[in-house]
Structure 1
Amino acid sequence: MRHIYRCPLRWADMDAYGHVNNVVFLRYLEEARIDFLFRPDKDFQQGSVVARHEIDYKRQLVHRHHPVDIELWVTEIRAASFTLAYEVKDGDRIYVTASTVIVPFDFEAQRPRRITAEEREFLQEYTDDADGTADDGEEEAVAA
């Protein structure tokens, strides 16, 4: 299953050529990620941090008054991190593909933490295993 976020475009997102500036796409991904992770019914209350972003620009997105769709899904769940994939798109037209590695984080203890059973269950609902990238159960070390 994929989470879909309808991302509004803003005048300030535009560059001098009327296109959405490439840097703005990182904010769009952040908005989609927050919409996905921090919901009243399910969320990462203990916190998380971004460990890595990868973004591939496919085509320019011209500023307009209607939102762009951001599809988000989970591609990997490990013991102490998970990876989200994104497509910024209109129907079949893809503007950006991206991925983000996220590490659950205990802000009180100031260290990474393991994914809880409840968080794992939530993330697995959004694992897009059509391409065989479902959770492999691989364990990884957590900094003490």
Structure 2
Amino acid sequence: MLPLTILLKQFQYCRDSVLSHSYCMHQEVMKMACSDITVNNIYGLFTKLLTMGLDSLLIFLSYIMILKTVLSNPSNSECLRALNTCISHFCAVLIFYTPDIFLSVIHRFENSFSPLLQILLGYISLLLPPLLNPIVYSVKSKHLRARIIRVFIK
């Protein structure tokens, strides 16, 4: 992130200094600049895609290794237990990455999207992963799953 802040520091800012999120997003600060932001835009998108792409590739490779190890286990019950943990982790990763990817794409092409959608997706990407993470991992437990179902049935 340091190169992004250095690139932002060299711009002249002449637009309104009101941000649509409660936190500072690089894309919003970048769009307040009056000068050409092409290099900053390309670098920010490249960094986001490289980081998420590398993370996704390493997670995918680790899942292949885990599945290879789990499926070589002769015990069906242990195999199912391990796969259950993998599915929970995979859901948590999807919950984390999906809103962040959409938010990054929407901010790059904001003219075709509603500002309300940008604000909503910003808060979703900030709040949803930490809120849903405990739920995703606790659904595996029969005791906790029964209590969660009871809360929603009442």
TM class, shorter-length: under 0.3
Q: Which has the higher contact order (CA 8 A, sep 6+)?
A: 1
**Greater strand fraction, Structure 1 or Structure 2:** 1
TM-score, normalised via structure 1 length: 0.26
Q: Which has the larger radius of gyration?
A: 2
Structure with greater helix share of residues: 2
